[in-house]
Amino acid sequence: MLMSSQVESFVMHCGEMGSRWGFNRTVGQMYGLLIINEQALSAIQISEALNISRGNVSMGIKELQSWRLVQVQHKPKDRKEYYTPAGSIWEMAIRVFEERRKREVDPTLSLLRSNLLETPNTQEALFAQEKMKEIHDLLETITHWAAELQSLSPEKLNTLMKLGAGVSKVIDMKDRLLK
Amino acid sequence: MLMSSQVESFVMHCGEMGSRWGFNRTVGQMYGLLIINEQALSAIQISEALNISRGNVSMGIKELQSWRLVQVQHKPKDRKEYYTPAGSIWEMAIRVFEERRKREVDPTLSLLRSNLLETPNTQEALFAQEKMKEIHDLLETITHWAAELQSLSPEKLNTLMKLGAGVSKVIDMKDRLLK
DNA sequence: TCAAACTTTCAGAACATTCTGAAAGTTTAA
DNA sequence: TTAAACTTTCAGAATGTTCTGAAAGTTTGA
Q: What pLDDT does A93 receive? A: 93
B165 band by pLDDT with thresholds 50, 70 and 90: confident
Distance from residue B72's CA to nucleotide C1's C1', rounded to whole Å? 30
Q: What pLDDT does A4 receive? A: 86
Query: Is the model's pLDDT at B86 over the cut of 90?
Result: yes
Mean pLDDT of B44-64: 97
Query: Is the model's pLDDT at A97 over the cut of 80?
Result: yes
Mean pLDDT of B80-108: 93
Q: What pLDDT does B138 receive? A: 95
Residue B104 amino acid letter: E
Nearest to B52 by CA among B85, B86, B15, B77: B15
Q: Say whether residue A78 is in contact with chain B using an 8 A CB cutoff.
A: no
Q: What pLDDT does A86 receive? A: 96
The model's pLDDT over B102-133, given as tens digits with 9 standing for 90+, comes to 988 999 999 999 999 999 989 999 999 999 99
Q: What pLDDT does B4 receive? A: 86
Give the count of alpha carbons within 13 A of B62, CB side only: 6
Residues from chain B contacting residue A118 (CB–CB below 8 Å): 6
- Looking at CATH, the fold of the domain delimited by B5-85 is given as Arc Repressor Mutant, subunit A (1.10.10)
CB A69 within 8 A of CB A43: no
Least confident span in A30-44, B61-75, B154-168: B154-168
Residues from chain A contacting residue B115 (CB–CB below 8 Å): 6, 9-10
Nearest nucleotide relative to A18: CA against C1': C18
A83 band by pLDDT with thresholds 50, 70 and 90: very high
Cα(first)–Cα(last) distance of chain B, in Å?
65
